[in-house]
Amino acid sequence: METRSLEFLKTLLDTPGPSSFEAAPARVWRAEAERIADEVQADVSGNSYATLNPGGAPRVLLAGHIDEIGVMVSYIDEQGYLSFDTIGGWDPQVFVAQRVTLLARGGPVRGVIGKKAIHLMEKEEREKVSKVEDLWIVIGAGSRAEAEARVRIGDPGVLAATLAEFPGDRIVSRSIDNRIGAFVVLEAVRLLGAARAGLAASVTAVATTREEISGGGGGARPSVAVAEPDVAIVVDVTHATDYPGIDKRRHGEYRLGGGPVLSRGAAVSPVVFELLAETAEAEGIPYAIEAAGRDTHTDAEAIFNAHRGVATALVSVPNRYMHSPNEMVALADLEQTARLLAAFAQRLTRETDFVPR
């Protein structure tokens, strides 16, 4: 991966932005987009857009959501301890003894999640799993008034984990689900901009909001009204199944470094799926296929069903340890996915038909 792209990726992943509070990573994304796109804009839903060749046809939308899971202050007690709720889906066991960064109006506030020490627990307590209501956040305040001078109800936060580079061209970070998708779609625009000769399509990358908390489509649904695409590719993550204890018969076989994963079924156009598969094979890009019999649980549903319908596909990056502060992906998969999106857009013409026949 080019040095510029890698540094952008690091900054993007390290910038806190849980669902409904994505403004900071969105600013980072748009600043990078200004360097490579013909048009950059934002909307009232917090979505950010970067368009290349705005007068072209067909209109292509490449969507990756920029939000991440997090926490939110829900109560402050008389001693200054903070109760919290979750933003998005968590395994509560992950929270125990973690450090957090709360995004308060006066700036970041450091905290730590507390739990009764094992030495003080009765036997039956030790055998119980932790629940969010049994935990609390400490910010060093000695009273409610002292805490309220620094934070207020509804302040969001993230676990205080930053990106780490691992051997084998892998990275570990929180927010990989799915800020990595927002990175990939902009990287595809970068590739197209560097070799735009012959590009007939208008290509818009969008960093959507609120995917982790919205069953109604979050920012993805209004993004269709702004971009008015003929075809859309959603980029998200899927579970890597290349570690111990995973039943591949139930969950499929997807590995880090194995290339992008193309979904079939659910909110996926069979026409766009076949075009993506043909493109991958023509470009020598390895890929796997994931079955989605009912729902993809991504922005694909919201986009596929918006307006009169959009020919939509879902391309995913294999991700280990999803919804934790230490998710892991392979940089090669990010590069291969961006290449696939760019090559797909290059193959489209004004005559490309997305209607299944």
Catalytic residue annotation: 211
* DSSP string covering 181-214: HHHHHHHHHHHHHHT-TT--SEEEEEEE--TTT-
C-alpha–C-alpha distance, residues 314 and 61, integer Å: 12
Contact call for residues 279 and 344 (beta carbons, < 8 A): yes
SS3 state of residue 82 = strand
Residues 6+ apart with CB under 8 A from 319: 176, 177, 180, 237, 238, 239, 240, 327, 328, 329
**Distances in whole angstroms, Cα of residue 187 to Cα of each of 2, 235, 320:** 11, 12, 22
State the residue for tokens 């970067």: 50
DSSP 8-state symbol, 117: -
Beta bridge partners of 65: 208
Task: Give me 221's structure tokens.
Answer: 């649904």
Do residues 331 and 1 touch, judged by C-beta distance below 8 A?
yes
**Are 53 and 164 contacting, i.e. CB atoms less than 8 angstroms apart?**
no
